A and B are shown apart, each in its own frame.
Chain A
Amino acid sequence: MSGLTKKIVALAGVSAFVAGNAVAAELTVVSWGGAYTKSQVEAYHKPWMAQSGHSIISEDYGGGIAEIKAQVESGNVTWDVVDVELSDAIRACDEGLLEEIDHSSLPAAPDGTPAVDDFLPGTLHDCAVANIVWSSVYVYDSSKVRNWNAPKTMADFFNTDAYPGKRGMRKSPKVTMEFALIADGVPVSEVYDVLGTEEGIERAFAKLDTIKDDVIWWEAGAQPPQLLADGEVIFTTAWNGRVFNAVAAEDQSFEMVWDGQIYDLDLWVIPKGSKNVEAALDFVRFSTATEQLANQASWISYGPARASSVPLIGTYHDNPAIKMADHMPTAPGNFANALQNDFEFWADNQDDLNERFNAWLAQ
């Protein structure tokens, strides 16, 4: 190599080094789309971009870790931060697909409580930091005149005599089978114990059999509000944030039944080998600070994962009459009979139960 080219290479190296530090990073943040992504853009992305000088490309996906796995294993990681469900976060972490996140680096609460104590129990993991608590509930449309009393319990969802008509449910054993057991009288604290036995599984399917002919199965989160609005179903299971959005932003008169709700977490993870790890970590730290989590709650009715955010929850961004705190899965009035999704149970049994669930569907 001649002296001149050596110099050029050296220069290029220097400029690349400079660029790495001074030039703003472009972060790809991936989430579930719709009203949920919008709440994140408003509460996290915009303020972070303004503060850090970096930019964010927001992408949508449909969940699962297939894409992360493909990116990491092919060595071509284009996603920097991804919003995933708990069971996926655990599994991806176990498989070495994620960067670890140091909990002590997360910002403390305004009163000085360290992050590890401020986050709700079970919301911090080796590779993942939760931002919200969301919930599966069932909904009905109170504007449609029917000759029945408003449903109150999970058992009502399965009661086709008192509530004749079609019901929407997610085409997945997860949540569906828990709902069946709760409706069948299993206390929420024992649901996973029962479901862990063969008899429990049989019992859940037996309960589901009673409504099988009346169920319309949905797969995408946007479907259930639509089914309800179209009058295709009288009840449907749904994610509470989507329902809230339909009520607050689209003026639908949907009512949620919180009895037997099953709540779960959404967490930030960083795929291993992300080209912007530092910026990604900064973004995760920024967005899971007390204030940002509280702000997000004024855009969608998902509960913040930090205790210190709860008192700060305000009103709906568009309508000061709606107090967001009342619509959170964790609001006292809603939380009376709630079940936390057991990620470990599902990590162990997802494949098996899914196979049985599909076999049951096909019968």
Chain B
Amino acid sequence: MDAAQPITAADGTPLKKKLAQAMFRSKLRATGLVVPLLAFVLASFVFPIIALMWQGVYNDTFERLMPNLTEELRVWDGVSEPTEDMYAMLVADLRQNRADKTIGKVASRVNQELAGTRSLFTSTARKAKKLEPPYKESVIKTKKKWGELKVWQAMKLTNQSLTPGFYATSLDAVQTVDQGFVMKEDKRQIYTKLFVRTLMISGSVMLLCLLLGYPVAYLLATLPLRYSNLLMIMVLLPFWTSLLVRTTAWIAILQSQGVVNDLLVWIGITGDDSRFSLIYNMTGTIIAMTHILLPFMILPLYSVMKTIPPSYMRAARSLGATPTRAFIKVYMPQTVPGIGAGGLLVFILAIGYYITPALVGGQDGQLISNMIAYHMQKSLNWSLAAALGGLLLGGVLVLYWAYDRIIGIDNMKLG
């Protein structure tokens, strides 16, 4: 038979086509079944993430609320002296915003670009109604700052709705009108440091969880049922207590007048006046987070270990391997899917933690999520929060990709 000839079904249609026809109906039904879920996931997950990403690069507050000045700023070169027209349009827009009670939004937006301009806008807007031409003169008279070029440059930058500025800020750089992107001076750099620290702390927490969780999961999987059930309850117990309570408990245990230090003093390991600082620093953050995230490591490990019959270890030993060697060469490789799943889970959760670091972190236990929360809740700079979140998400995706390349995503078992 000619190899190139397609195989045909009994009625002469090519087999491939026939198969596709036969599959079509069942595919249609399957699609129908997942449509609600798909819609739900799109609406509640994918769409908000896209919206968030979009917010990190797009902020039209200024363009929307200051339409007249926007026109002028577009044509302005950014370095020459601002013209009378620009001042006139500024006054017109300020009046309108004052009337609409939206001046606070404009002020906040420009203040993000140049600190100290918020009150400039709100106070001048209050007086805008009474200002007379020539506007340049009268505006500068209300506040000298209006004559400064950097205020106008800040407005020109905020006027740009689609902006890389927030991502630049997230990486400790600033966008300038005339020099492009410039790194901030050293003592103002914060976000890159926090990103690095977040990754390091999350990594340490992940490793500690693995170190502590592995033996526990092993016991869970191998102990007789009545003991393992008890142990399982102990593992799950933290889930039934609120995060805040658990964190506070760690404070009571680790603080310098706390249980651990008291014990160490009592034993004589340290003196009463040289107690260890175990909390309000990175140590405390790592300890508390490890405890809180431990179940997320133990459960996937347990679910993998549970499926490994004891006969593998026995086989290895009967073949001459010492218990250690059998464990390392035969048992551990089979738990890799659990290690991968637990590790990824803990790492990703750790990256997003902020309540615990806020309470026990002190000055060097601060994580990037604390800054995101700050910009979400306090400074209301949602665009910057979005940019920081976007970078974090990007980082996680890169790690995920790396994991896939090294270990393989299908080689992961969550439960």
Q: Which residues of A contact B (CB under 8 A)?
A: 62, 64-66, 69, 90-96, 166, 171, 212, 215-217, 219-220, 223, 230-232, 344, 347-356, 358-363
Contact = CB atoms under 8 A, between A and B. Distances in A.
Interface residues of B, number: 44
Q: Which 4 pairs, one residue from A and one from B, show the smallest C-beta to C-beta distance?
A: A94-B104, A352-B115, A96-B101, A95-B104
B335 interface: no
Interface string B187-198: 111100110010
B111 A359 contact: no
B153 to A, nearest CB: 16
Given A94-B122, A351-B379, 18 more contacts: A66-B378, A91-B108, A94-B101, A94-B105, A94-B107, A96-B104, A166-B256, A216-B280, A219-B359, A231-B256, A344-B119, A351-B111, A351-B115, A359-B188, A361-B363, A362-B194, A362-B197, A362-B363
B364 interface: yes
A93 B190 CA distance: 31
Given A64-B377, A217-B280, A232-B256, A359 B104 contact: no
Given A215-B363, A351-B381, A354-B374, A93 B104 contact: yes
Contacts of B359: 219-220, 223
B371 interface: yes
B116 interface: yes
B228 to A, nearest CB: 38
A347 B122 CA distance: 11
Contacts of A348: 111, 115-120
Contact of B188 (A65, A66, A349, A355): A355
B300 to A, nearest CB: 33
20 contacts: A62-B377, A66-B376, A66-B377, A66-B378, A66-B380, A90-B122, A93-B101, A94-B122, A95-B105, A216-B362, A220-B359, A231-B256, A348-B120, A350-B379, A354-B379, A358-B190, A359-B193, A361-B363, A361-B364, A362-B363
Contact of A359 (B190, B257, B377): B190
Nearest to B187: A359
A95 B363 contact: no
B371 A358 contact: yes
Contacts of A215: 363
A271 B119 CA distance: 22
B383 interface: no
Given A66-B376, A217-B362, A362-B197, A356 B107 contact: no
Nearest to B117: A348
For B108, B118, B188, B381, the residue with the greatest tally of chain A CB atoms inside 10 Å of its CB is: B118
A352 B116 contact: yes
B363 A212 contact: yes
B257 A64 contact: no
Secondary structure dominating the interface of A: helix
A362 B364 contact: yes
Given A69-B380, A94-B122, A359-B189, A219 B366 contact: no
A354 B188 CA distance: 10
Secondary structure dominating the interface of B: helix
A200 B299 CA distance: 53
For B188, B252, B376, the residue with the greatest tally of chain A CB atoms inside 10 Å of its CB is: B188
B358 A219 contact: yes
A166 B363 CA distance: 13
B31 interface: no
Contacts of B280: 216-217
Contacts of A231: 256-257
Contacts of B108: 91, 95
A130 B329 CA distance: 70
A362 B256 contact: no
Nearest to A213: B363
Nearest to A355: B190
A1 B147 CA distance: 65
Contacts of B116: 348-349, 352
Contacts of B100: 96
Interface in B184-215: 187-190, 193-194, 197
A362 B193 CA distance: 8
Contacts of B255: 230, 232
Interface string B146-190: 000000000000000000000000000000000000000001111
Contacts of B379: 350-351, 354
B68 interface: no
For B117, B189, B363, the residue with the greatest tally of chain A CB atoms inside 10 Å of its CB is: B363
A230 B257 CA distance: 7
Contacts of B107: 94
A347 B366 contact: no
Contacts of B378: 64, 66, 354
